Amino acid sequence: MMNKVLTLTLNPALDKTVEIDSLEHGGLNRIREGRIDAGGKGINVAKVLKNLAVDVRATGIVAGHQGRSLLAYMNDLDIESDFLEIEGETRTNLKVYDRSKSEITEFNENGTFVSEENLERFDNLLERVLNDVEVFVLSGSIPPGIDSDIYKKYIEKAKAKNIRTILDADGEIFRKGLEAKPYAVKPNIHELEQFFGRKYSSDKEVVEDIKKLIDRGVKLVVVSMGGEGSIIANETETYRVRPFPIEVKSTVGSGDSMVAALSYSIMNNHGIEFIAKWITSAGTMTATKEGTQVCSFEDISKNVDRVYLEKI
C-alpha cells in the first residue's frame, strides 16, 4: 500500500443503470438488463484508487436504508469508508442506456437534506480523517442544506495541513472552491464554458481560459472533453491529449477515473506527460465498462502508450 488519499462525497448515490432497446418518450420502456453500483464522484475515485493499490479512504454523508446499502457495497469492494450516517435517504441516480443509439441519459436526484447540526457533526468527522492524508479529492454536487462555499472551506482546512487538493465540481461550488486555490482542478468542457460564460470554437480559446485558472493559483488544470480527450496544463507546459478508439459502454465515472489517476500521479510526483497518459487511459478504459464500473490497474497500464499527446 502506498500513501493516503481521502475522497469526499457529500452527495453519494446508488447508481441504477438500466438498458432499453430504444427510448420511447411518453411510452412504455421495457428494461432488458440492469445493475446497481455504489456511486457519487468521490466514491468512484476511491474505487479506481483501490484498484491502483493506493491507501485510500472515502468519506462523506449517507442517509437511511439506502445509505446503509451503499456502505455495504463499499464494504464488498473493500474500500475503507468513514461516512456520517444521518436520517433521510441517500439518493438513487438513474442511468438509462439506449442500445439503439449506444447513448446514456442520466437522471440524478437532489439528495437528502443535511441539517446544520449534522453538518457540524460531519465537520468534526472530517477534522479527524484529514490526518495523515497526502491528497484530498473534493468532487460532485452537494446535497440540499449545505452552502456552496463548503469546498472552499474544506480546501482551506486541508491546505493548512499541507495536503494537496483536487477539485471536481461545477457551478457556484466550483467558483467558490477556486477562491481557495486548489492544487488541481478537472472541469469538463461544459463546466469550463459555464464558468467563463462563453462557448468555445477552438482549442486556443480553451487554453486561454485554462491560463486564467493557472493565474488564479491552480497548479494543474485538466479540461476533459468526452470522446475528444482533454487539454492538460501546468504553469509551463500544455498538452492536447486524445484517447484511443474504444467501444463505449458507459461513460459514467470516466471523469472520476481521470481524477483518480491524477491523484495517483500527483502523489508520486510524476511529470505532466505521464499524468496526461495515465488520466486518459483511465478515463477511456472506464468508458468501456457497463454501469458505474471502473478501470483496473492493468486496463490503464496496458493502454497508456496508445494515448496520443501533442504539445501545444
Ligand X SMILES: O=P(O)(O)OC[C@@]1(O)O[C@H](CO)[C@@H](O)[C@@H]1O
Q: Using CB under 6 A, pick the residue from 230, 292, 293, 303 that binds ligand ATP.
A: 230
With CB cut-offs between 5 and 8 Å by kind, which of ligand ATP, ligand X, none does residue 145 bind? none
- Cα 210 to chain centroid, rounded: 19
With CB cut-offs between 5 and 8 Å by kind, which of ligand ATP, ligand X, none does residue 292 bind? ligand X
| Binding span for ligand ATP by CB under 6 A among 73-81, 92-100, 113-121, 240-248 | 240-248
- Please tell me whether residue 92 binds ligand X under the rule CB under 6 A: no
CA pair distance 243, 256, nearest whole angstrom: 16
Q: Using CB under 6 A, pick the residue from 253, 261, 264, 293 that binds ligand ATP.
A: 253
- Please tell me whether residue 93 binds ligand X under the rule CB under 6 A: yes
CA pair distance 123, 157, nearest whole angstrom: 10
The C-alpha cell that represents 48 in the structure block: 479506481
DSSP H helical segments within 197-312, as ranges? 203-215, 254-267, 272-286, 297-303
Closest CB 307 distance from ligand ATP, rounded Å? 8
| Binding span for ligand X by CB under 6 A among 39-47, 144-152, 218-226, 262-270 | 39-47
Q: Which of residues 114-153 bind ligand X (CB under 6 A)?
A: 140-141
Nearest-CB residue for ligand X = 39
Q: Match 452537494 to its residue by C-alpha cell.
A: 142
- Please tell me whether residue 252 binds ligand X under the rule CB under 6 A: yes
DSSP 127: H
With CB cut-offs between 5 and 8 Å by kind, which of ligand X, ligand ATP, none does residue 246 bind? ligand ATP
- Please tell me whether residue 67 binds ligand X under the rule CB under 6 A: no
DSSP bridge partners of 16: 36, 94
With CB cut-offs between 5 and 8 Å by kind, which of ligand X, ligand ATP, none does residue 140 bind? ligand X
Where on the phi/psi map is residue 132: left (φ > 0), alpha (ψ -120 to 50), or beta? left
Single out the residue of 54, 76, 84 nearest to residue 261, CA to CA: 54
Q: Match 486518459 to its residue by C-alpha cell.
A: 280
DSSP bridge partners of 221: 185, 233
Single out the residue of 282, 280, 293 nearest to residue 250, CA to CA: 293
Residues that bind ligand X (CB under 6 A): 11, 13, 15, 39-41, 44, 93, 106, 108, 140-141, 252-253, 255-256, 292
Residues that bind ligand ATP (CB under 6 A): 188, 224-227, 229-230, 243, 246, 248, 251-256, 258, 280, 283-284, 287
